Amino acid sequence: MGIPKQCTKEHNITSDELFQQACKVIPGGISRNTVFRKPYPSYAASAAGCYITDIEGVQRIDFANNMASLIHGHAHPAVVESVIEQVKKGTAYMMATEAEVKYAELLCNRVPGFEKIRFVNSGTEAVMAMIKASRAFTGLSKIAKAEGAYHGTYDFAEVSQTSSPANWGNSNKPNSVPLVKGTPQGVLDDVIVFPFNDAERTISILDQYQDQIACILIDPVPHRIGLFPASNEFIDAIYKWTRKHGALMVFDEVVTFRVSYRGAQENYNCKPDLTALGKIIGGGFPIGALAGRSDVMQVMDQRESPLRYSLSGTFSANPISMTAGFVTMKLFDQDAVHHLNDLTQTAIARIGEAIRIADVPVSVTGSGSMFRFHLRDTPPQSYREAFQTKKETELINSFLDRLFLDEKMLLVNTGSCMFSTALTIREVDRLAEAVLKGLKILKPEFEKLQ
């Protein structure tokens, strides 16, 4: 796909004016905190492929792809055509659809561990359902999760999501820290927090609750922790522990399903009992899914008596998301996965060269088609190593603002890139050049961090 022509301004209102208008009816003027940029957010007007244009007519290369959800970029013709055809037939019914069955078959045939699957409406819902299914299957209430990991907005899943040196406690037994003021103490008591990728400490912590844990929740390449993969040693240790103590090992692959053809779990010796999915499997539309072992998934079978977990949702498995997702994942075949991952590795290599030329303390971590910048020479190996101070956060924001405003590029607000198949080597070259320029300009600020 060639570079689209720069769009001219088509709206009679600026982003600043629209934001002021929004603040009168929306708390903070936005419904997603992640899209805010001081002093006001930019407002999208249109997008195609890997380019997005705002209402002022400014066109940017999109390396964020709606927080990793658009694996083929914006408005892929095959997806658009299939969705238009389905919209003409209806968008949602109080009936099941063949589209749901066909998509379920596609995903279950793709991943051996997906014996059964249920669709919901978001990654948050998928993780929530996975936790509830684990409790229903085991009869236990506690869950365990990694410090710093993001798993959506369910009370239990968000514990210690943003823990800091002021409250995270000893690494031998991290504190369960609430995200939202007023979180019930009972929620905190039922969430056991462990240090990601530290097998010895994690097993020691889990042993203290060996007969109480329903599931151990793992993002195999956790974005918020630092976007580096879990080691095989770490996953193996947790898997063996769950076999010994009757708990489930469950993966949050809402983001990481893009890492390999069968998700990040393809890279490990043992497989999760359940997996939560979302983002790319919706083809640009809201979606989530829960997949895994038949016996565990059976807790949601409404034909069972008694039914252990009743799961429903007005828009779950709606034919629009099913149709878009089916086309998207058919297109994201093994060749597409390999090509995109190779392009991402090329980008990381060229950015690494830019970092060396700029001579700044920056490193890059990542997996598959995603990577993240860190303001330190050595790539971090834990949440506490990757944790950014206030000054570091300000500097990474300055770097991202420069890319956004001066270089016309959109990255994830953590300093991450989530590639799409719409990107080419041309956009990768532009990114590497922009990174080099930005790092050189900000080098004096980097030196102040030392």
Model pLDDT, residue 1: 45
Q: Is 207 a catalytic residue?
A: no
* Residue partners of 160: CB distance under 8 A and separation at least 6: 145, 147, 148, 149, 168, 174, 175, 176, 177, 191, 193
Q: Which residues pair with 61 in a beta bridge?
A: 51, 409
For each successive 10 residues of the chain (450 residues), what is the average pLDDT? 52 90 95 89 96 97 98 98 98 97 98 97 98 98 98 97 96 96 97 98 98 98 97 98 98 98 97 98 98 98 96 97 98 98 98 97 97 95 95 94 97 97 98 97 85
Backbone phi, psi, residue 325, to 5°: -65, -40
Give the pLDDT of residue 203: 98
Catalytic residue among 132, 142, 145, 279: 279
Pairing of strands 370-374, 213-218: unpaired
Q: What are 153's two structure tokens?
A: 């907005």
pLDDT of 447: 79
Q: Which residues contact 287 (CB under 8 A, 6 or more apart)?
A: 119, 120, 121, 122, 278, 279, 281, 321, 325
Q: Is the peptide bond before 178 cis (omega within 30 degrees of 0)?
A: no
Q: Is 154 a catalytic residue?
A: no
State the pLDDT at residue 8: 56
Distance, CA of 53 to chain centre? 23
Backbone angles phi, psi at 230, to 5 degrees: -65, 140
Provide the pLDDT for residue 415.
95
CB 254 within 8 A of CB 288: yes
pLDDT digits (tens, 9 = 90+) for 354-381: 999 999 999 999 999 999 999 999 999 9
Token pair in block for residue 309: 């977990």
- Exactly one of 40, 150, 239, 383 is catalytic; name it: 150
| pLDDT value at residue 230 | 98
Gap between the terminal Cα atoms of the chain? 43
The DSSP H or E segment spanning 60 is strand 59-62
33 class by beta-carbon count within 10 Å (0-12 exposed, 13-18 middle, 19+ buried):
exposed
Residue 275 backbone dihedrals phi, psi, to 5 degrees: -135, 135
Q: Where in the chain is the domain with CATH 3.90.1150.10?
A: 333-450
The residue type found at 48 is A
Looking at the DSSP bridge assignments, the partners of residue 367 are 370
| C-alpha to C-alpha distance for 185 and 43, rounded to whole angstroms | 39
Cβ neighbours for 167, distance < 8 A, ≥ 6 positions apart? 175, 177
pLDDT in tens, 212-230: 999 999 999 999 999 999 9
pLDDT at position 446? 82
Phi and psi torsions of 364, nearest 5°:
-130, 135
Architecture of domain 77-331: 3-Layer(aba) Sandwich (3.40)
> Which pLDDT does position 361 carry in this prediction?
94
Name the CA radius of gyration of the chain, rounded.
Answer: 22
Paired residues of 409 in beta bridges: 61
| Residue 395 tokens, joined | 């500097």
Query: With pLDDT > 70 as the criterion, what percentage of the chain qualifies?
Result: 97
Q: Is 189 a catalytic residue?
A: no
In this predicted structure, what is the pLDDT of residue 432?
Answer: 98
Task: Look up residue 55 and give its amino acid.
Answer: I
The total of other beta-carbon atoms located within 10 Å of residue 37's CB is 17
pLDDT at 449: 79
- Please give the CATH topology (third level) of the domain spanning 333-450: Aspartate Aminotransferase, domain 1 (3.90.1150)
Q: Which pLDDT value is given to residue 101? A: 98
Q: Are 77 and 71 in contact, with CB atoms under 8 Å apart?
A: no
Residues of the chain with CATH 3.40.640.10: 77-331
